[in-house]
Amino acid sequence: MARPGGWFSEEQGQWYKQIVQDRGVRNVVEVGCHLGLSMSYLLELPNPPRITAVDIWEDPGVYKSFCSLVRGKNVRVLRMSSMDALEHVTNRSQDLVFIDAAHDYGNVRQDLAGWVRKLRRHGTLAGHDWNWGGVRRAVEEFHKSTGRRLFVPVPNLWLLDPPRPGAVDAPKVSARQLALKRRREQERARLEALPPHHGVPMTPAAGQPVIQGTPQNPNSSYLVTDSGRVVGRRRKLPRAQFQSDVLRTSPAATRM
């Protein structure tokens, strides 16, 4: 088969084809197709999977060539951004998602978080350009935050397999949850570093707003909610707000 131009070595193509065959993959999404070089390896399988091809194809000439490559084949073409295409693919429907679109950290991170939701339980995420710094950083972070097992099976390709059943060493939290936890810890550390004051606890009790002042000027108060939000910091709270929000909820405030 005459191959279209693109960025995919023969070794990578043979691996791509092999993994689809070995794992009995029936549904694949390829995000970032260009002229279809990587996809051409799947199309020559005796029993090719159902492929969803996602690309923005900014260049109409490239899009036209891609369409002639896949015409008459079991390929659904979504000419749109990776994020928009998520709306057109059912959750938990895919055996493999292959990512080779934008290569910067932010986009790869978004692609991983979005496309993993389209995988069946034992589905595989894989992609190209492991040697790119942004790709590697996003993939490694995703591996750590989800416990998916990371492999570089042939040069410049990466693969993330689901965690081993029952694995205890793998964190089972999403990247979003980890970021939230990190922000909470930073906020707690920031609050604890504030100067001490007279008798009001530095760390608010769960769910209870607390007024905090300084010994020098107890009325330069601010209200800290336990989500770490600081209201009215370094300015006097309006009297009405002080009475309704603070005195009512924080007995400690009456000592000020």
54 binds ligand SAM (CB under 6 A): yes
Helical H runs in 147-215?
A: 175-192
Minimum separation from the CB atom of position 140 to ligand SAM (A): 20
38 binds ligand SAM (CB under 6 A): yes
Which residue type occupies 4? P
φ/ψ of 229, rounded to 5, equals -75, 135
**Which range touches ligand SAM (CB under 6 A), out of 51-59, 157-165, 223-231, 245-253?**
51-59
Which of 39, 252 has the CB closer to ligand SAM?
A: 39
**Cα–Cα distance measured from residue 218 to residue 206, given in angstroms and rounded to the nearest whole number:** 23
8 binds ligand SAM (CB under 6 A): yes
Which of 57, 158 has the CB closer to ligand SAM?
A: 57
Q: Which of 19, 22, 86 is nearest to 52 (CA)?
A: 86
- Coil, strand, or helix at residue 98? strand
- Binding track, positions 57-96, relative to ligand SAM; x by CB under 6 A: xx----------------------xx--------------
Q: Six-digit token pair at 76?
A: 């659904």
Which of 107, 145 has the CB closer to ligand SAM?
A: 107
H or E, element range at 145 = helix 133-146
Please tell me the count of residues contacting ligand SAM according to CB under 6 A. Answer: 19
